[in-house]
Amino acid sequence: MSETVVLQRDGHVATVTLNRPEVLNAIDNTLAADLTAVCEELASDTATWAVIMRGAGERAFCAGADLKARRDFTPQQWSEQRQLLRRTFAAMRAVPQPMIAAVHGYALGGGTELAMLCDMIIASQDAVFGLTEVSLGIIPGGGGTQSLPRLIGRQRAKELIFAARRIPAEEALRLGLVNQVVAREELLPTVHRLVDEILKNSPFAVRQAKWAIDQGADLPFPDGLDREHEAYMRAIASEDRREGINAFNEKRRPQFQGR
């Protein structure tokens, strides 16, 4: 694997760094393939309980697609890249651990889409978001036309996409696109504090909660409850559930194992 995506582990936390700072971490075929491979590795990694995604360098989380690389694309190359990117975004959605995007600087086009594929977004005050593709004669192609309306509502999403508008972090917070906005120097410390809160809980239960939310989000409410029931019963059968109940009754902190 090349170094366009760097995977680092520290205990139960994995950090995924988009590592093309010289081009604002823009997405080319190599980065897309590497990110797919990293996400597929994480999907089967039961020792990793939370994932942080960030961008290398000072200027951007991810500025979207590498437009220079696309300059002379043939229709066949466009089609091939579309299929590659669809695999990448599908691999991100399949990561079972909670994923937190730590966004600084530019997060435009595919950068906004990558952030939205994470479960939570913490942004620094200098972050800028936007699905600006229509200004280039294309449309958001990494799920943006589907993800953004689900996060902020259909009318607001249409306004931002049709106008190719860039929005600052505080507006993204007001619209419900991001969870928190913090000073730049507080970005990673804030993300790590959130991760620490998550790690206090059963990683198995957290995964099941994520599965239930994601699987049920677009279903009729009764069908969503069926997904919740499936996840609940898996949690009931887990070692973590037994440890959690025992620890509560014994008035001690649980020692969860993630299974």
Where does the chain hold its CATH 1.10.12 domain(s)? Answer: 203-249
- What pLDDT, on a 0 to 100 scale, did the predictor assign at position 74? 81
Cα 171 from Cα 178, distance rounded (Å):
9
Selecting among 3, 40, 133, 159, the annotated active-site residue is 133
Side chain identity, residue 127 = A
Check 113, 170, 185, 243 and give the catalytic one: 113
Amino acid letter for position 71: R
Q: How far apart are CA 104 and CA 21, in angstroms?
A: 12
Sheet holding 128-130, edge to edge: 60-62, 106-108, 128-130, 167-168
Give the pLDDT score at 55.
Answer: 98
Label residues 59-70 b or e (16+ Cβ within 10 Å = b).
Answer: ebbbbbbbeebe
Assess contact for 3 and 19: CB atoms under 8 A: yes
Q: What is the largest CA-CA distance in the chain?
A: 66
The residues near 240 (Cβ < 8 Å, ≥ 6 apart) are 202, 203, 204, 205, 254, 256, 257, 258, 259
CA–CA separation, 36 vs 169, rounded Å? 27
CATH of region 5-199: 3.90.226.10
Decide if 219 contacts 227 (C-beta within 8 A): yes
Q: What is the pLDDT of residue 2?
A: 62
Q: What does the pLDDT profile of the chain (259 residues) look like in tens digits?
A: 469 999 999 999 999 999 999 999 999 999 999 999 999 999 999 999 999 999 999 999 999 988 777 777 788 887 888 888 899 999 999 999 999 999 999 999 999 999 999 999 999 999 999 999 999 999 998 899 999 999 999 999 999 999 999 999 999 999 999 999 999 999 999 999 999 999 999 999 999 999 999 999 999 999 999 999 999 999 999 999 999 999 999 998 999 988 9
Instruction: Assess if CATH 3.30.420 describes domain 203-249.
Output: no
Q: Is 113 a catalytic residue?
A: yes
